Amino acid sequence: MQRPASLATLLGFRRPALPASLSRSLSCAQDVLRRTPLYDFHLAHGGRMVAFAGWSLPVQYRDSHVDSHLHTRRHCSLFDVSHMLQTKIFGCDRVKLMESLVVGDIAELKPNQGTLSLFTNEAGGILDDLIVTNTSEGYLYVVSNAGCWDKDLALMQDKVRELQSRGSDVSLEVVDNALLALQGPAAAQVLQAGVAEDLKKLPFMTSAVMEVFGVSGCRVTRCGYTGEDGVEVCQISVPVAGAVHVAMALLQNPEVKLAGLAARDSLRLEAGLCLYGNDIDEHTTPVEGSLSWTLGKRRRVTMDFPGATVIVPQLKGKVERRRVGLMCEGAPMRAHSLILCTEGTVIGTAEMWIHSSAFPLPSPAAQ
């Protein structure tokens, strides 16, 4: 398929539909899919299971997609995101390893502070987006996409072996935890009932290890993927044995409902957030993807990350295409439809769309 001239996330249409980013996954075979620790829990609660990135996950529950989306914005929803790759990077050279692969300034992170960053290749393309946290326990905690699990793990493991062969002190461990995302205006209030720590002292993009509803060893992070403002987002990495217990405890609060992949996708679309493989890929640079802000200031000067010689000049120059968000009226536009200027010239391609009448924006759409 020909690569589009530009990438556009389109917001503002009338009729609901299953997000295009999920439609490809629904046709996958179910027989060899991985299961999260909450698989039986999802079935017991009416989850409609589908194939997604090699995993069997709920696309929605008994509530409609629209109802689930709106409940998240107005109250609080619980998402199972255990399919995402969680890793720990240990050793004195852990920052050296991570900065050899990503565009962000990992060295500047304070204890328990995290940042969104990007794996890039030598051509400047994005291999994946990820969150890196500099924990106070002496390791980097990394969360990346399930769709890139094998690629990301191989990338990091290869770099570990390369640095180890040169005498560097670094190692990698895959975290076998469940991962829950509690998102919506009531998220912090709901979670506060199950932790002793004051969540008001845990600002956006920071995390801490704490006991959650009696389950020890949980890492709570104030970040998420639905466009909430940080106060309304809590991501919980839970030891497998306690995952169902924590999920059940959260559901005891009437503010909380379960939500699936469909709502998660429309929520991130509404906020203008990227989905790897759909809005950005290895042929998209951070500048083209409107993700220049992920490049650390120091890294722009040192230019010591993969693809720096391509990416950094783009910051001050011009690019032929760029991901943008558009608000539209009228009949719904389908994915991959051509975008024309008033003179009729093709200026881009619609990658995704969402209807505004069913999903009213809480604030102006993000770029």
- For CA atoms 127, 235, 182, 56, the dihedral sign is positive
* Cα Rg of the chain, angstroms: 20
- For CA atoms 222, 361, 291, 65, the dihedral sign is positive
Alpha carbons 367 and 353: distance in angstroms, whole number? 14
Q: How many helices (H) and strands (E) does the chain have?
A: 10, 18
Query: Is 232 annotated as a binding-site member?
Result: yes
Q: DSSP letter string over 69-96?
A: HHHHHHSEEEEE-TTSEEEEEESTTHHH
Alpha carbons 94 and 116: distance in angstroms, whole number? 17
| CB-CB neighbours of 74 under 10 Å | 13
DSSP character at residue 123 = T
Closest CA to 306 of 3, 93, 97, 89: 97
Strands 55-60 and 85-90: unpaired
Instruction: Count how many residues are written for the chain.
Output: 367
Q: What are the C-alpha distances in Å from 97 to residues 159, 169, 285?
A: 7, 10, 21
| CB-CB neighbours of 4 under 10 Å | 18
| CB-CB neighbours of 110 under 10 Å | 9
SS3 assignment, position 350: strand
Alpha carbons 293 and 67: distance in angstroms, whole number? 33
- 31 burial via Cβ count (<10 Å: 0-12, 13-18, 19+): exposed
Binding residue numbers: 232
Binding residue numbers for substrate: 232
